[in-house]
Amino acid sequence: SSSGGFGEEVDYTITGIDAGAGIMSQTDQAIEDYNLSNWNLQASSGAAMTSALGDAIANEEPIIVTGWTPHWKFAEYDLKYLEDPEGSYGDGDDIHTVVRQGLEEDLPGAYQFLDQFQWEASNMEEIMVEIQDGTEPAEAAAAWVDENEDMVSEWTDGVEEVDGEAIELVYVAWDSEIASTNVVGEVLTDLGYDVTLTQLEAGPMFAAVADGEADGMVSGWFPNTHASQMEEYGDSYEDLGPNLEGAITGLVVPEYMDIESIEDLES
Ligand SMILES: C[SH](C)CC(=O)O
């Protein structure tokens, strides 16, 4: 059924994020699965997507974005996921901690902490909202760590402190991963590590851990969003399992749009 010319109102454009993100491949798949032949997926960045979303909502204009949970946008705006009857986005992910092979021998304390790191979407969203309100990520993370000693002490239970051992974590500038990586970096700093946080694109992030260039990352959206990276690099990294369960990816629109499913996007 036609969605009342919704496509024309948004110039048949889906506002995406960085080209290498898994959600972008999932959206390419959705365009194919739903025969959205005259729709195009605009690559930009996480920040550009959220500012376009904010501008559209401020003017109550139509917009469709590649969206994911956990994310501050659901706390800030009235949004909904479009139903995905073809399952192009899969049925959700857990966010995994992934480290280089050999880390357990080289940095046993960091390895144990990273293995014990586990939290909920609500914890991550608290930090994301602070960062969105203008607080520097490292500052927002340090404040959260100070306010959540009980949870942090579970993560560091039995972990030896060190004196300046170097560790490098890699991440992509997705709001969720900026929050989690800065929290993990803060705790490692408190444990005595000399921490480097390096921002990369998604492919290079996985490659850096797989070839041992970096020590680890907390950004593996498994099994759906990063299915291709799991396939390409899965034999070369060590997956320490979920640090956050119940993540979601999909197409997201403001509630004021009278459209409910991807199949309503006319071709
Ligand atoms: C946090 S983003 C949904 C992850 C990705 O799309 O690769």
pLDDT of residue 266: 73
Question: For residue 23, how far is its CA from the centre of ligand 1 (angstroms)?
Answer: 5
Same fold, 6-91+249-264 and 93-246: no
Question: For residue 146, how far is its CA from the centre of ligand 1 (angstroms)?
Answer: 28
Domain 93-246 -> CATH class: alpha beta
Output the CA–CA distances (angstroms, integers) from residue 246 to 178, 222, 243, in the order listed.
Answer: 18, 11, 10
pLDDT of residue 19: 96
CB within 8 Å of 235: residues ≥ 6 apart: none
Cα–Cα distance, 220 to 196 (Å, whole number)? 19
Tokens linked to 101: 């092979």
Question: For residue 119, how far is its CA from the centre of ligand 1 (angstroms)?
Answer: 18
* Single-letter residue type at 112: Q
Average pLDDT over residues 165-179: 98
The per-residue pLDDT for range 186-226, each reduced to its tens digit, is 999 999 999 999 999 999 999 999 999 999 999 999 999 99
Beta bridge partners of 96: 220, 242
Domain ranges of the chain: 6-91+249-264, 93-246
Q: Which residues line ligand 1 (CB under 6 A)?
A: 21-23, 68, 174, 176, 202, 221, 225-226, 249
Average pLDDT over residues 161-166: 98
pLDDT of 138 > 50? The answer is: yes
Q: Which CATH number does the domain 6-91+249-264 belong to among 3.40.605.10, 2.40.50.100, 3.40.50.10490, 3.40.190.100? A: 3.40.190.100
Mutational pocket test of ligand 1: of 93, 124, 172, 244, the residue with most ligand atoms within 8 Å of the beta carbon: 172
Question: For residue 174, how far is its CA from the centre of ligand 1 (angstroms)?
Answer: 7
Average pLDDT over residues 142-166: 98
pLDDT of residue 2: 46
Question: For residue 45, how far is its CA from the centre of ligand 1 (angstroms)?
Answer: 11
ipTM metric: 0.98
Residue 59: phi, psi to the nearest 5?
-105, 10
Cα–Cα distance, 116 to 152 (Å, whole number)? 10
The per-residue pLDDT for range 12-70, each reduced to its tens digit, is 999 999 999 999 999 999 999 999 999 999 999 999 999 999 999 999 999 999 999 99
Question: Which residue's alpha carbon is nearest to atom 1 within ligand 1?
Answer: 174
Question: What is the end-to-end Cα distance of the chain in Å, rounded?
Answer: 10
CB within 8 Å of 15: residues ≥ 6 apart: 42, 44, 48, 49, 52, 53, 63, 64, 65, 66
Question: For residue 185, how far is its CA from the centre of ligand 1 (angstroms)?
Answer: 20
The per-residue pLDDT for range 221-258, each reduced to its tens digit, is 999 999 999 999 999 999 999 999 999 999 999 999 99
Q: What percentage of the chain has pLDDT greater than the value 70?
A: 98
Given the CA of residue 247, which atom of ligand 1 is nearest to it?
3
Instruction: Supply the mean pLDDT for the chain.
Output: 96
Cα–Cα distance, 149 to 45 (Å, whole number)? 33
pLDDT of residue 5: 62
Average pLDDT over residues 126-139: 97
Q: Residue 232, exposed/middle/buried by CB under 10 A (0-12, 13-18, 19+)?
A: middle
Mutational pocket test of ligand 1: of 74, 200, 225, 232, the residue with most ligand atoms within 8 Å of the beta carbon: 225
The structure's pTM equals 0.96
Number of C-beta neighbours around residue 11 at 10 A? 10
